[in-house]
Amino acid sequence: EVQLVESGGGLVQPGRSLKLSCVASGFTFSNYGMNWIRQAPGKGLEWVAYISSGSSYIYYAETVKGRFTISRDNAKNTLYLQMTSLRSEDTALYYCARGDGYYDYWGQGVMVTVSS
């Protein structure tokens, strides 16, 4: 069974950093591109970042470019999102999702709250 489990969220002050993790199981992690997608409270979905299976291709939404870094460790079956210079508008539920063009499996999400 495919599982994606996010962790690392919490309450953080504006301007600070936070690192999210997503541990994958039930499939060959190194064969798939991975993504982070977020949802602000009561709002729609926003794609955040993508990383290809071998980390050769990385893309970001304009709203996070230069502040967030997506990475992965295929030996540990883990996806990461390093978030710096956090802003109140980054407050959201962050999902990791498997896929290179479409997202067939999603985690349950991890909440990040940016507030003083």
Instruction: Write the DSSP assignment of 38-79 as a string of letters.
Output: EE-TTS-EEEEEEE-TTS--EEE-TTTTTTEEEEEETTTTEE
Quick check: 43 and 54 in contact, CB under 8 A?
no
C-beta closer to other proteins: residue 29 or 94: 94
Q: How far is the CB of 44 from other proteins (least distance, A)?
A: 5
C-beta closer to other proteins: residue 66 or 116: 66
What is the side-by-side order of every strand in the sheet holding 68-73? 3-7, 18-25, 78-83, 68-73
Binding-site ranges for other proteins (CB under 8 A): 37, 44-47, 50, 59-62, 95, 101-104, 106-109
Q: How far is the CB of 116 from other proteins (least distance, A)?
A: 29
Q: How far is the CB of 95 from other proteins (least distance, A)?
A: 6
Paired tokens of 13: 């002050």
C-beta closer to other proteins: residue 29 or 95: 95
